Structure 1
Amino acid sequence: MAMNQIPGHNIYIGGIFCLKNKAALARADITHVLSVLRLNPVEETFASYQHLSIAVDDVDDENLLEHFPAAVRFIQAGLDGGGGVLVHCAMGKSRSAAVCIAYLLHQQPGALTPQSALEGLRQSRPLCEPNDGFMKQLALYHEMGCPDDVTDNPVYQRWLYHRDVEESVACGRAPEMRSVRFEDELPVQPKENNTGRSVEIKCRKCRRTLATSSFIINHEPNQPNHAKVQSGTECAHVFLHPLKWMRPSLFPSAAENGSDPDADSTYDEYSADAPLSGRLTCPNSGCGANVGKFAWQGMQCSCGGWVVPALGLAKARVDIASQINRATRGPAGPAALGIRLPPGMRPPATEDPNSGRGNL
C-alpha cells in the first residue's frame, strides 16, 4: 500500500512495503525513515536514509510510551534538515499512527487531543487505528504535557507500577515490593490540592496520622442502575496510594525479617508468599488496630465503583478531618480545581462570610 502524507506536514505514514517504492520515496524527498516494528533491517534498504528503529509489537500491553520522546526528536530533526520523514510499521495502521499522533501532540499539546490528532491522520490515511493500549498511552503522554523525557515523570512511573501489579495479579501473586511505588518515599512528593482545603486521616484508636489529601485516590461511583448498589450509596472506604507504613501489612515476611517500615526502601526485597489481599493495620506499635483492607486484584467500593489496586481505609475505623488553609484559598474557594474527594468526604456548602446574612 502507498504511503500517505500527513496534512500540513512533510511526514509520510505507510507500511513496510512502501520502502520498495524508491521512486515514491525520492519524489517525497524522504531523508529520514522511522521503523516502528520488530525487524532485521537490511542495510542496503536504509543506506540512503537516516534511520531509527523502534522494536515494538502491535499489542495492547507493549510499552510504546517510553519511545515517544526519541521518535519526536528524530522526526523533528528530519524536518529541520529540510527533508521528508517516513514513519512506517507493518501495515501503516497502528504503531506508526501512534508515533505520528505523539508528534502532533508534542507540536500542539493545547490544541489537539489523541482522538482529534487521529482524525487528522485519517483525512489522508483512513485505515489508521492504533490499538486501545496505544491510545491510552497517548492519553497519558498528553496528560503529562508531552515532555521531552517521560521516564522521570510521576504519571509514567505510576503507570509502570500499575502494569507490574496487573502482570503479577494475572499470575496469581502479589507484586514484588521493589516494584511498588510507596508515594511518601518519592523524592518529589505529590502536591496538595489547590482548593484551600486539606484532609487528614487518623487512626480512630490512637490518633496516628495515616494519610493526607495528596495520597487519596479518587474513584467514580458505578452507574445508578447497578443491580447490587443503591443510587447514592456512600463510600465506606477512602482509597489511597501505597504508603510506607503499609509495608508490613502488604509484605509481612519482609517485616518479620526485620525491615523497618519507616526506613527508606531499597526495593530489593521480594516476598514470594506476599498475600494478594488482607488487612491494613495501624503502624503504631502500641496500637495495631485494623484500619482497612487491601486487594491487589481490585475491590468494589460500596458505591459500586471499582478501584484497582485497592488499598482502602475503612471510614468506620478512622477519623477524617477537613481543614481550610486560608493562605492558599483563592477566590474560587473549595470549588476550585483540585482533588475531587469521594462521596461522603465532600464538605457542605458554606455561605459567603461577606454576604451579610446572619448579622441581623
Structure 2
Amino acid sequence: MSSARAFPSRLFFCPERDVADACRARGVTHVVAIGWPAPEDASEGSVAIERVLRIDLADDELTDVLEAATTATTFARVALEASEEHVVVVHCHAGVSRSAAIVAAYMMRWESVSWAEALRAVEGHGGDPNEGFRAQLEMWDAMGTRAATARDAYALWSVAKIARDRDARGYLESTSVRRDPGAGDAVEDDAGGGWAGCRKCRRRLARASDALPHAHGEGIDAFAWKRKRKEDGGGTTRERTPSCSSVFVMPLSWMRGIEDGDGGPTRGKLTCPRCEVKVGAFDWAGIQCSCGAWVTPAFQLQRAKIDAFGV
C-alpha cells in the first residue's frame, strides 16, 4: 500500500519507492522527482503521466532549497490551476525532508499559510525537513514568499550561518567565503547581473549575486546621536528619505582579515587587493547603514569608492 501523504488537496509527497503505487492510487498526472542527482521517473509505466519535473537537490543543511522550491511550486501551481483533474506528487528518496520542504513551500507561497502552519501540516503527515531547510523557509516566510525574494532569503540565511559557525569555531573556514570575482585571468560577468569594482583601478570586487539586501531604516532619526538630541529637546531635522551610501555583500576571498577569529579582530577596513585604496569596512558585530538600518554581520562597500553596475 502506498504511503503517499496528502496535503493540500491534489498535492502529495511520498518516498521514491512508493511513487508508482501513489500514481495508480491517486491518479497522478504530474510528478516532481527530487534527488542528487535527480532520479529517473519512478512512475514510468504505472499511469499516463503528463509531465515530470526533475530537480537536483541534496538533503544537506547547506543546500539552497529555496531555488528548488520556487521552480517546483510554480510547476505544481500551473498544473493544479490548469485542470481540476490534475494531481501532483512530490517525491524524494525517503519522502521525509526534501519532498516535505517543497510541499510546505507550496502551502506558504500559494495558500497563504505561515511557515509554522506549513511545518505542522507536513510533520502531521510524516515530513521532517532538515534544520537548514527549516531555517531557510522560515526566512522566506518573513520576506513574503515571493519568487523574487528567494535568493535574498537564502543569502541572508547563509551569512547568518557563517557568523554563527565562526563564533562556534573561533575562525572562519575558507570554504565559507565566496570566490573572488576579480581573481585570475577569467572574469565572471555574473550572467549579465552586474558587478561592483574599485573606482580607482576598476578591479572587480563583487558580483550582483554577492549583494545582500537589508530593510531600510528610519533615516537620520535612527542614529544614536540624533535620538539623544531629540530626548534633550533639540527637536527633529527636516524629514529625509532614508538612503544607502553603501552596498553590503557576502564575505569574499579577497577581504583580508575577515578570517581572523579566536581573539583576532572582529572589525577592520576593506582595501582593494590591487591598488590598496580603502573601499569599505567589515564588522562581525554589525555596521549601521546611512539609512539607519543595522546590518549584522557587515561586509560594506562604500558607494563613493566603487563603480556599481546593477548592484
Give the structure-2-normalised TM-score: 0.58
Q: Distance in 1 between matches of 2:122 and 2:213?
A: 38
Q: CA deviation at 1:34?
A: 0.6
2:268 is the alignment partner of 1:280: yes
Q: Is the 8 A contact 1:92 1:128 kept in 2?
A: yes
For the residue of structure 2 that corresponds to 1:91, the secondary structure is: coil
Higher mean Cα deviation, 188-197 or 142-151?
188-197
- Fraction of identical pairs, as percent: 18
For the residue of structure 2 that corresponds to 1:276, the secondary structure is: coil
What are the within-5 Å matches in structure 2 for residues 293-332 of structure 1? 309-311=284-286
2:144 is the alignment partner of 1:145: yes
Larger radius of gyration: 1
Q: Is the 8 A contact 2:36 2:58 kept in 1?
A: yes
Deviation string, structure 1 residues 301-343 (Cα, Å, up to 9, x no partner): xxxxxxxx44569xxxxxxx99xxxxxxxxxxxxxxx96899x
For the residue of structure 1 that corresponds to 2:29, the secondary structure is: strand
Q: Distance in 2 between matches of 1:198 and 1:272?
A: 29
Task: Report the counterpart of residue 198 of structure 1 in structure 2.
Answer: 222
Task: Report the counterpart of residue 38 of structure 1 in structure 2.
Answer: 36
Task: Report the counterpart of residue 328 of structure 1 in structure 2.
Answer: none
Structure 1 gap segments, 5+ residues each: 202-212, 216-239, 244-249, 251-266, 284-292, 296-308, 314-320, 323-337, 343-360
Q: CA deviation at 1:39?
A: 4.5
Higher mean Cα deviation, 26-35 or 274-283?
274-283
Task: Report the counterpart of residue 117 of structure 2 in structure 1.
Answer: 116
2:109 is the alignment partner of 1:106: yes
Q: Distance in 1 between matches of 2:72 and 2:129?
A: 16
For the residue of structure 1 that corresponds to 2:13, the secondary structure is: strand
2:51 is the alignment partner of 1:27: no
Cα–Cα, structure 1 residues 130 and 66, in superposed 2: closer, same or farther, change >3 Å?
same
Cα–Cα, structure 1 residues 214 and 200, in superposed 2: closer, same or farther, change >3 Å?
farther
Deviation string, structure 1 residues 183-219 (Cα, Å, up to 9, x no partner): 9x96x98554359823278xxxxxxxxxxx888xxxx
Q: Distance in 2 between matches of 1:282 and 1:121?
A: 45
* 1:96 aligned partner, one-letter code: S
Q: Distance in 1 between matches of 2:94 and 2:88?
A: 17
Task: Report the counterpart of residue 67 of structure 1 in structure 2.
Answer: 68
Q: Distance in 1 between matches of 2:206 and 2:27?
A: 47
Q: Is the 8 A contact 1:164 1:175 kept in 2?
A: no
Q: Distance in 1 between matches of 2:158 and 2:86?
A: 36
Give the structure-1-normalised TM-score: 0.51
| Matched pairs, number | 233
Higher mean Cα deviation, 190-199 or 79-88?
190-199
Higher mean Cα deviation, 41-50 or 78-87?
41-50
Cα–Cα, structure 1 residues 19 and 242, in superposed 2: closer, same or farther, change >3 Å?
closer
* 1:106 aligned partner, one-letter code: R
Q: Is the 8 A contact 1:35 1:88 kept in 2?
A: yes
Cα–Cα, structure 1 residues 156 and 94, in superposed 2: closer, same or farther, change >3 Å?
closer
Task: Report the counterpart of residue 15 of structure 1 in structure 2.
Answer: 15
Q: Distance in 2 between matches of 1:40 and 1:4?
A: 21
Q: Is the 8 A contact 1:174 1:276 kept in 2?
A: no
Q: CA deviation at 1:116?
A: 1.4
Cα–Cα, structure 1 residues 40 and 141, in superposed 2: closer, same or farther, change >3 Å?
closer
Q: CA deviation at 1:280?
A: 2.6
Task: Report the counterpart of residue 85 of structure 1 in structure 2.
Answer: 88
- Measured on the aligned residues, the alpha-carbon RMSD in Å equals 4.7
Q: Distance in 2 between matches of 1:39 and 1:282?
A: 39
Cα–Cα, structure 1 residues 2 and 169, in superposed 2: closer, same or farther, change >3 Å?
same
Q: CA deviation at 1:62?
A: 1.2
